[in-house]
Amino acid sequence: MMRIGIQFDTRNTTSAEAILRDFERAETEGFDTIWIGQVFSHDILTLFAMAGLRTERIELGTSVVPLPTRHVATLAQQALTTQLATGNRLCLGVGSGHAMILDRKLGLPSDYPLGRTREALEVLRPLLRGQYVKHAGEFEQVRVDTPVPGAEPPSVILAALGPKMIELAGKLADGVTLVFAGPDFIADQVTPRLPPGKRIVASLPVLLTEAVEPMCALVDEYTAPSMALPPYQRTMAAQGCERVSQIAIVGSEHDVEAGLARLEAAGVTDLNPILVAGGADPDCGDRTRAFLAERARKRLSAD
């Protein structure tokens, strides 16, 4: 049965205690995973290490850490330290980063994303396993190990939407994390390119609401900044869509259940839902969260 996670956005939260209470709440509600994206506010691995001391079961997933923004040895140290603090509950989601952000905001190179990502994973995975790595490649030059006693290597998933990056995830990662990919795209473009047993984490809007049309408009407004990025534009075009609301799961309980079933049938192992509230239905986020939490609890009890 597909695992049900919850996506946090901590950017407008000024209290660390409030963030940690939400971690505790999500675990109590029964969610399988908390997913948080690494942007320019809180450091997510630091938050996860803190949350690890306040939770016991729930998995903590980065969605995602852009590989070019951290030296691979530093990332290995951070991930293993987070593993130690969480009792080995980290899922390390990484990605190649977006060229517009790497170039314009950080002054980092964004050329050869496939080659850079391949080399980073070739170094990162053995470092996470506690191995000494001697690597002199085109993009990575290291002679180092990152020992953190008591920490197990976390699972690593790769942000991937193009065929070559998906295939790379199948070879060097434990799975893929996808944004704005509907079930048809996943069934046709993702699942066939991955070996059996790989995780497929799907992130798209899920809204339990009767106000379908105005809330779809709100989804498109909320996701507009992301849709300015070329990879998402290409993914939407490949699905014959212009707006995220066209692949979002929106509607009644029956509609949401049907949408989740289609994702699971396409091969999705984990849901990373984008919750949107406001406008015509300000309670939509809480209602959807409660519905998904109930589904997550049913999966836990079935296990």
CATH class of 3-302: alpha beta
- pLDDT at position 46: 97
pLDDT digits (tens, 9 = 90+) for 39-95: 899 999 999 999 999 999 999 999 999 999 999 999 999 999 999 999 999 999 999
Mean pLDDT of the chain: 96
In sequence order, what DSSP letters do the residues of the chain get, joined into one string?
--EEEEEE--TT---HHHHHHHHHHHHHHT-SEEEE---SSS-HHHHHHHHHTT-SS-EEEES-EEGGGS-HHHHHHHHHHHHHHHTS-EEEEEE---HHHHHHHH----S-HHHHHHHHHHHHHHHHTT--EEEE-SS-EEEE----TTPPPPEEEEE--SHHHHHHHHHHSSEEEEES--HHHIIIIIGGGS-TT-EEEEE-BEEE-S-HHHHHHHHHHHTHHHHTSHHHHHHHHHTT-SSGGGTSEEESHHHHHHHHHHHHHHT--EE--B---BTTBTTHHHHHHHHHHHHHHHHHHH-
Q: Where are the domains of the chain?
A: 3-302
pLDDT, block means (10 residues), the chain with 303 residues: 95 90 97 96 96 97 97 98 98 95 92 97 98 97 97 98 98 98 98 98 98 98 95 96 97 98 98 96 97 94 81
**pLDDT for 301:** 86
Overall pTM > 0.95: yes
